[in-house]
Amino acid sequence: MYAQMIKSEATQDDPEKLAAFQVRIDAGDKIEPKDWMPEGYRKTLIRQIGQHAHSEIVGQLPEGNWITRAPTLERKAILLAKVQDEAGHGLYLYCAAETLGVTRDELTEMLLDGRMKYSSIFNYPTLTWADMGAVGWLVDGAAIMNQVPLQRTSFGPYSRAMIRICKEESFHQRQGYDIMMKMANGTEAQKRMAQDALNRMWFPSLMMFGPSDAESVHSEQSMSWKIKMNGNDELRQKFVDQTVPQAEFLGLTVPDPDLKWNETKGGYDFTGPDWDEFFDVLRGNGPCNKERLAARNKAWDDGAWVRDGLMAHAEKKRAAKLAAE
């Protein structure tokens, strides 16, 4: 998902306090920043919320790529609004992470020097306008699948950020699907572009949910702390079951020859993504890893004088105001 393979941190806390904490979680209490919490809970959350925030921010790049080349003024305004929302999502989440005792600049620096990750999906390129459709439809669609249950997560600030985000996310998916409908019902060339976008985005989208639960060593603790709400395979299945009919409606073919409805399980059988490719992308070898991190680093470095200048200006104004009093 936006937060993939979050390693949960070991906790060495007083067992009595830990047990009392678990009772609160099980009772559905929200944990707030000033409440006692296990060190592992705090650290795992910083990593997870941070990775989620970074994904929203880096996720602006593949779509930002098409803003100046949107086919109409209306599409341009819509895409701009969508990308601006993603900046907002990043900010809501950074704020939630900061309540756990990490600063915004620390989080940013950990992204920029590679200590923290962002979702693998944003290391794939957006080659044609149809990719704007496929990203909204599939990538935001997969994100929604994971974010809706996270509204009930145990950490109050995270849960509140997710509630805000979910309110805005459905616009993202629908504008993407709207682009796909237009392309799929357009000229032969447009239809080919739509199919090509689906072909390239399908498996990377399935990767967003992370590796199979059987291989996710860290899920259990996060599940009992209600930091992670569902298994990876469960969400991936749900995504496939929801998305295949949507592809059929578009008259497009999901690029999986083994995709088949399974009556007994009431869901589709499908081919999983290539996990070697997934791990390779996580290691930094995806098609766009270098470009994405370079863009973020450049923005941070180029903005340094603005951040410092505005801070100096604010201090000068404060001093002048004090002197006038």
Partner 1 sequence: MRNEWPLWEVFIRGQHGMSHRHVGSLHAADEEMAIKNARDVYTRRNEGVSIWVVPAHHIAASSPSDTGPLYEPSESKVYRHPTFFDIPDDVGAM
Q: Which stretch binds partner 1 (CB under 8 A): 49-57, 88-96, 206-214, 235-243?
A: 88-96
75 in contact with Fe ion (CB under 5 A): no
**Min separation Cβ 99 and partner 1, Å:** 9
314 in contact with partner 1 (CB under 8 A): yes
Mapped onto helix, strand or coil, the DSSP state of residue 118 is: coil
**Min separation Cβ 22 and Fe ion, Å:** 31
- Please give the size of the binding site for partner 1, defined by CB under 8 A: 29
* φ and ψ at residue 6, rounded to 5 degrees: -75, 115
Q: Of the candidates 14, 105, 220, 301, which one interacts with partner 1 according to CB under 8 A?
A: 105
Nearer CB in complex with partner 1: 10/81: 81
Structure tokens at 88: 């907002």
78 in contact with partner 1 (CB under 8 A): no
Nearer CB in complex with Fe ion: 143/180: 143
Nearer CB in complex with Fe ion: 9/86: 86
Q: Nearest Cα to 177, choosing from 102, 84, 82, 305? A: 82
Count other Cβ atoms within 10 Å, centred on residue 253: 14
Structure tokens at 233: 């395979």
Structure tokens at 171: 């616009």
Q: Distance between CA 135 and CA 173 in Å, rounded?
A: 8
150 in contact with Fe ion (CB under 5 A): no
Residue with tokens 């904490």, as numbered in its chain: 21
**Min separation Cβ 95 and partner 1, Å:** 5
Nearer CB in complex with partner 1: 189/322: 322
Q: Of the candidates 164, 174, 191, 218, which one interacts with partner 1 according to CB under 8 A?
A: 164
Q: What is the dihedral angle through the alpha carbons of 301, 305, 310, 314, rounded to the nearest 10 degrees?
A: 120
Footprint on residues 169-188 left by Fe ion (CB under 5 A): 172
Q: Distance between CA 15 and CA 11 in Å, rounded?
A: 10
Residue with tokens 């009093």, as numbered in its chain: 325
98 in contact with partner 1 (CB under 8 A): yes
* CA max distance for the chain: 78
191 in contact with partner 1 (CB under 8 A): no
DSSP strands (E only) in 249-318: 260-262, 267-269
For residues 270 and 258, the answer to whether their CB atoms sit within 8 Å is yes
Footprint on residues 6-45 left by partner 1 (CB under 8 A): 32, 34-36
Would you tell me which residues interact with partner 1 (CB under 8 A)?
A: 32, 34-36, 81, 84-85, 88, 91-92, 95, 98, 103-106, 109, 160-161, 164, 168, 307-308, 310-311, 313-314, 317-318
